[in-house]
A = this chain, B = another copy of it.
Amino acid sequence: MGAAAPLERPGRPQPVTLRQVAEAAGVSTATVSLVVNKKKTARISDETRQRVRDAIRDLGYRPNAMAQTLVSGSSRFIGLVADAIATTPFAGQIIHGAQDEAWKHGYALLIANTEGNRELETDAIAMMLEYKVRGILYSTWFHRPTDIPASLKESDFVLVNCFSTEPGSRAVVPDEIQGGRSATEILLKHGHRRIAFINATIPAPAKDGRLQGYREALEAEGIPFDAGLVLEAYPDQEGGYGATEELLKREATAVYCYNDRMAMGLYDGLREHGLSIPEDIAVVGFDNQEVIAAHVRPPLSTVALPHYELGAAGVRMLLGLEEAPAADPTKIHCPTVERNSVRALAPA
């Protein structure tokens, strides 16, 4: 990384110095420094401490956090490595949750976006280590197994939305099985019994978990699993659209789609066949994806991926405020979001 050319700073007022604070408070610079660095052992009267604090506020003095870090031996940063801030809407919610939780405990988030580039990832982790971060959250945009980069192990770390079989690695992921169960239950409670599931073609924990949840929900209602009702398609709008004809052959009264993008495509396919949602067929998605789920016509009933909670739980785990079970990743609940794409099945 080359250094950039220096910049002129026209007319901006000079920052307030420690000396100016000392003069305003009528104390030595050493006393100001002790108050700023919160050395409680120092013998300074409450009255003097207050005078220094007043001077700091009146003058708008900003202590140097870098220097405080050296004094205290640890930085107030938590690193967050994300692989797809720019190309998916999911990383944003992980960041939001992690940041809210980090701030609550006095930490700031140092975020690096790698867009899946290994070299950039290595550089980003190196930078975080050089800034002596308290620990690193390593996150992926979709729930998947991951290798642990070697340099990540030089710090405390928590895997967020991904996991590893390496012993000692802590991880927090969505509860896909419960989510699949919840999605299917939306349809069951409206009286549907013949429920198709359009699963993804791509292997992923979500693919296995959401299918298992579907089976569990049917079983709990005494409905035998019928493999003929499970289809597979690429998990986007085009995949959902393309699955329409196969779905209609199944004569299901309801369909649960692997994700909202597929449901959006399926909406188009069903409409082209002259079918109405939810009158002719009920549809449920998964993800509660921003921009899609609430805004297709009719608005889509779905199950939300808990990205905000994943970020927040990752920070709590990193700081030792939440237990990390020995072996398995911690699973976060996926909440149900009901809208208008499902209605009670009319009696036959």
Residues of A within 8 A of B (CB): 1-13, 15, 60, 62-67, 69-70, 75, 85-89, 91-93, 95-96, 99, 103-113, 115, 120, 123-124, 126-127, 129-132, 135, 153-156, 168, 236-238, 241, 261, 264-265, 268, 271, 289-292, 295-297, 308, 318-321
Cβ 8 A contact of A111, one of B7, B111, B132, B261? B111
Please name the residue on chain B nearest to A3 by beta carbon: B106
Chain B residue numbers with a CB within 8 Å of A9 are: 156
A103 to B127, CA, bound (A): 11
Residue of B nearest to A289 (CB): B291
A76 to chain B, nearest CB (A): 8
Contact of A64 among B1, B132, B156 (CB under 8 A): B132
How long is the Cα–Cα vector from A241 to B95 in the complex, in angstroms?
A: 33
Q: Are B271 and A132 in contact (CB under 8 A)?
A: no
Q: Which residues of B contact A297 (CB under 8 A)?
A: 237, 241, 265, 268
Name 24 A/B residue pairs within 8 A (Cβ), A-sorted: A1-B104, A2-B105, A2-B106, A4-B106, A4-B321, A5-B319, A11-B168, A12-B154, A62-B129, A65-B127, A65-B132, A66-B66, A87-B92, A89-B89, A89-B92, A92-B113, A103-B120, A110-B111, A236-B295, A238-B295, A261-B291, A265-B295, A289-B291, A291-B291
Whole-angstrom distance between the alpha carbons of A334 and B268 in the complex? 30
CA distance A318 to B129 in the complex (A): 26
For residue A62, which residues in chain B have a CB less than 8 angstroms away from its CB? 126, 129-130, 154
User: In the assembled complex, which residues on chain B have CB atoms less than 8 Å from the CB atom of A7?
Assistant: 135, 156, 318-320
Pairwise interchain contact A65-B131, C-beta atoms closer than 8 A: yes
Bound complex: CA of A123 vs CA of B102, how far in Å? Answer: 13
Extra inter-chain contacts (17) besides given A64-B70, A86-B92, A110-B111, CB under 8 Å: A1-B105, A6-B320, A11-B168, A12-B154, A60-B154, A62-B130, A66-B69, A85-B95, A85-B96, A86-B95, A88-B290, A89-B291, A108-B112, A109-B111, A237-B297, A271-B271, A291-B292
List residues of chain B with CB within 8 A of the CB of A289. 291
Among B95, B132, B154, the residue within 8 A (CB) of A113 is B95
Q: How far is A129 from B62 in the complex, measured between Cα atoms in Å?
A: 7
Residue among A8, A62, A91, A290 facing the most chain B CB atoms (10 A cut-off): A62
B103 engages A308 (CB within 8 Å): no
Task: Given A65-B131, A112-B108, decide whether A168 and B295 contact each other with a Cβ distance below 8 A.
Answer: no
Complex Cα gap A292–B289 (Å): 12
| Residues from chain B with Cβ under 8 Å of A66 in the complex | 66, 69-70, 75, 131-132
**Among A3, A87, A104: residue with most chain B CB under 10 A:** A3
A200 to chain B, nearest CB (A): 16
A1-B106, A126-B62, A130-B62 known; A261+B85 contact, CB < 8 A:
no
Which residues of chain B are within 8 angstroms of A63 by Cβ–Cβ distance? 130
Interface residue from B12, B15, B67 paired with A70 (Cβ < 8 Å): B67
